């Protein structure tokens, strides 16, 4: 029996050794395959790039104000990044709806243009006109807010738009910094 026990120990040791060698080879082969697959990105780098040139901002002042403006072009547009929303600056784009843009008129507007605005201001309460400053403050159909500001005789038009969520934060009473609640007991 001792020879048979010795023989079975040798066979079991050989089988265990073979299993360990095969397991080691498979483990090394598997880890090498995973490391070898890391040659390229699993997600394209373009997915992480800011949405800039391909998401060009289009502003139609006529559709916003119902007043026909002279020809203009977009000079610059920058996203508005609210303090209350935790977001990295490179993740926010003008396509989110929160932006400040500067438009440049091709020519200085003539008197007819300002007469059209004065006529529109007679029945549209969104217009606010001082001596030389024109302001248009309007909510869009989605609940966002437009603010358009320009001066008489100038060629720059400043357009600001915030989407519904940010407009809600900006117009909620008592949410402004430094304002105290009127219902506090004394």
CA-based angle 98:103:104, to the nearest 5? 170
What would the pLDDT profile of 94-146 be if each residue is shown by its tens digit? 766 788 999 999 999 999 999 999 999 999 999 999 988 999 999 888 888 99
Predicted TM-score of the model (pTM): 0.59
pLDDT (average), residues 40-51: 55
pLDDT (average), residues 36-44: 56
What would the pLDDT profile of 52-96 be if each residue is shown by its tens digit? 444 577 889 999 999 999 999 999 888 877 665 555 555 566 766
Q: Which residues of 7-19 are buried (b: 16+ CB within 10 A; e: fewer)?
A: eeeeeeeeeeeee
Contact 174, 181 (CB under 8 A): yes
Contact 137, 145 (CB under 8 A): yes
């Amino acid at each position: 029996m001792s020879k048979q026990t010795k023989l079975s120990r040798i066979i079991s040791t050989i089988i265990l050794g073979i299993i360990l060698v095969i397991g080691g080879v498979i483990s090394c082969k598997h880890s090498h395959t995973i490391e070898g697959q890391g040659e390229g990105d699993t997600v394209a780098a373009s997915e992480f790039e800011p949405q800039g040139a391909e998401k060009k901002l289009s502003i139609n002042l006529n559709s916003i104000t119902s007043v026909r403006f002279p020809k203009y072009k977009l000079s610059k547009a920058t996203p508005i990044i609210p303090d209350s929303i935790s977001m990295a600056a490179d993740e926010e784009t003008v396509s989110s709806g929160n932006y400040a843009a500067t438009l440049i008129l091709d020519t200085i507007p003539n008197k007819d243009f300002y007469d059209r605005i004065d006529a529109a201001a007679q029945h549209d309460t969104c217009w606010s006109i001082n001596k030389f400053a024109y302001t248009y403050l309007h909510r869009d159909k989605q609940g966002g807010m437009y603010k358009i500001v320009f001066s008489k005789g100038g060629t720059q038009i400043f357009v600001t738009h915030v989407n519904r969520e940010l407009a809600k934060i900006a117009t909620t009473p008592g949410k402004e910094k430094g304002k105290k609640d009127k219902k506090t007991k004394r």
